[in-house]
Amino acid sequence: MKKILKFGIPAVIILLAGVFWWNYCFVFGEGVRAGNLNFIVKKGYVFKTWEGRIIQTGFKTPAPGAMQSNEFDFSVANDSLGGLLERNSGKSVEVRYKEYLHSLPWRGMSKYVVTEVIKITDPQPASILPY
């Protein structure tokens, strides 16, 4: 019985730590997204994080015959990046992000966390259609 407690409890603790790391700390993917910054806001009850949305050009259709804008919801844990994006709301931005399997309260509400702002430009004026 003592051997089971001596080796079983540490094994369970290591297993639980591994599951926590896999679900919350493992970076599932990294990438770059570009589009018009719709909004960014700092919110939270205990952990204040920046939450924002980028509207990308084009449309995605989750169901045949439907039409929906392509939106990218993200979180920013870094205050300097959040402030930079807040000052440039409405402009065209290009950001680098990390994708996690689940969110953590101090990292934000989204599983996509922006880590870098690559480029900020003024939005292109809408072209006038000939018809």
The three-state DSSP-derived secondary structure of 39-96 is EEEEECCCCCEEEEEEEEEEEECCCCCCCEEEEEEEEECCHHHHHHHHHCCCCEEEEE
Q: Which of 2, 4, 24 is nearest to 12 (CA)?
A: 4
pLDDT digits (tens, 9 = 90+) for 38-69: 999 999 889 999 999 999 876 656 666 666 66
Cα–Cα distance measured from residue 94 to residue 100, given in angstroms and rounded to the nearest whole number? 19
| Total-model pTM | 0.76
Question: For the chain, what are the domain ranges?
Answer: 27-121
User: Above 70 in pLDDT, residue 121?
Assistant: yes
Which CATH number does 27-121 carry?
2.40.50.140
